[in-house]
Chain A
């Protein structure tokens, strides 16, 4: 249960829905209201499928390679920490990067929602815990929370503006950094004990 909570929050923060809202709105701008909702729902669905797929793929891959849980924790900690640093210090303009693309799978489903960072973490978590149900549930809950934010993108954007969303992203980055260090330290203790 405790892991469920940690994984859900980690995934939610790494999906970085708030940070992605400006880019999300930019991509959907050329379409009318009805079409926008249609595209958003479709892309969110695809993102969920991609994440589930990587969960099973990750489990198979890690078992095949026979990677020890200690290494998984160390790797997860380091990867997450690097992601967190990007969230905290990142200044690059995501809005302009995806301009003038027809949104189908790319860029909304992936890499915006099911970003490489999210997929990497899902694969890492796939081995860490026994029960598939916990991880799948966590993916679903984090996805649901992000989806709600994306569906409310317009009012949220009006409220926070670009710079407000960036500030939220930085604070989230700080939390991701803490989760990362916790994983890393767990791994380190495990490595030193054995």
Chain B
């Protein structure tokens, strides 16, 4: 089963992945973690972390399905789980308080490697479940393309992070994250609904 590549599904997926990667919401954490590094080093770290995240996402794109088959987890189940996890993440985004950032900040080494920036901030459980899910529905190439485009957009946002952070301010970032949270609630509910419908019929 290999559905054709359509511009519409590509656009949908890019938007979906970009929203779930939540580069704007994680922006303050990136800024606060990398504050003490020189600007040129900052860009290097951001690019490195994002490349690692991209690698992991592509890994899930190709091997997620194999793993599910091995575990005997049906596609509908993944849909429901993806929906439930995304829903909870979205609720966290909607009701997030600055105190969450404080917690993340506490245990960070000087040069944050892989954790927490690449995993789980960019390549978190939500996006990985979503990628595995769409790897089974859409054309794999479309998904790959969508991941790369969404990833690139996130990279641009994060490379502009020092600038965006001062421009938007704390309240601006919180407002945007909240808005994304509401969008993800919709996506998550629909995902869980489709899964439930599929498994009950």
Give the interface of A toward B (CB within 8 A): 2, 5-6, 9, 81, 85, 88-89, 91, 161-164, 166-167, 170-171, 173-175, 177-182, 185, 188-189, 192
Question: Chain A contacts of B109 at CB under 8 A?
Answer: 161, 163
| Contact between chains at A171 and B128 (CB < 8 Å) | yes
Closest residue to B79 on the A side, CB-wise? Answer: A181
Of residues A81, A167, A178, which shows the largest number of chain B Cβ atoms within 10 Å of its Cβ?
A178
What total count of A-B pairs have CB within 8 Å? 74
Closest residue to A188 on the B side, CB-wise? Answer: B200
Docked complex Cα distance between A161 and B82 (Å):
28
Question: Chain B contacts of A167 at CB under 8 A?
Answer: 114-116, 119-120
| Contact between chains at B114 and A189 (CB < 8 Å) | no
Residue B12, interface by CB 8 Å: no
Kindly identify which residue among A163, A181, A189 contacts B84, using a CB–CB cutoff of 8 Å.
A181
Residue B54, interface by CB 8 Å: no
| Contact between chains at B200 and A189 (CB < 8 Å) | yes
| Contact between chains at A89 and B88 (CB < 8 Å) | yes
B199 to chain A, nearest CB (A): 5
Kindly identify which residue among B70, B108, B125, B199 contacts A174, using a CB–CB cutoff of 8 Å.
B125
| Contact between chains at B114 and A192 (CB < 8 Å) | no
Contact of A170 with B84 at beta-carbon distance under 8 Å, contacts A162-B107, A185-B77 already known: no
Residue B58, interface by CB 8 Å: no
| Contact between chains at B71 and A9 (CB < 8 Å) | yes
11 A-B residue pairs with Cβ-Cβ distance under 8 Å, sorted by A, are A5-B70, A85-B88, A88-B88, A163-B107, A167-B114, A171-B125, A174-B128, A179-B73, A182-B77, A185-B199, A188-B200
Docked complex Cα distance between A193 and B18 (Å):
40
Docked complex Cα distance between A182 and B81 (Å):
9
**8 more CB-based (< 8 A) A-B contacts, given A167-B115, A174-B129, A182-B74:** A81-B84, A164-B114, A170-B120, A170-B124, A173-B125, A174-B81, A181-B84, A185-B76
Total interface residues on B, using CB and 8 Å?
Answer: 31
Docked complex Cα distance between A57 and B88 (Å):
35
Question: Chain B contacts of A185 at CB under 8 A?
Answer: 74, 76-77, 80, 196, 199
Residue B157, interface by CB 8 Å: no
Closest residue to B126 on the A side, CB-wise? Answer: A174
Kindly identify which residue among B92, B119, B128, B200 contacts A89, using a CB–CB cutoff of 8 Å.
B92
Kindly identify which residue among A91, A171, A181, A188 contacts B81, using a CB–CB cutoff of 8 Å.
A181
A178 to chain B, nearest CB (A): 5
Closest residue to A163 on the B side, CB-wise? Answer: B115
Question: Chain A contacts of B124 at CB under 8 A?
Answer: 170
| Contact between chains at A88 and B85 (CB < 8 Å) | yes
Question: Chain B contacts of A89 at CB under 8 A?
Answer: 88, 92
Across the A-B interface, the 3 shortest Cβ-Cβ residue pairs: A163-B115, A174-B125, A167-B119
B101 to chain A, nearest CB (A): 12
A96 to chain B, nearest CB (A): 12
Kindly identify which residue among B71, B88, B107, B114 contacts A178, using a CB–CB cutoff of 8 Å.
B71
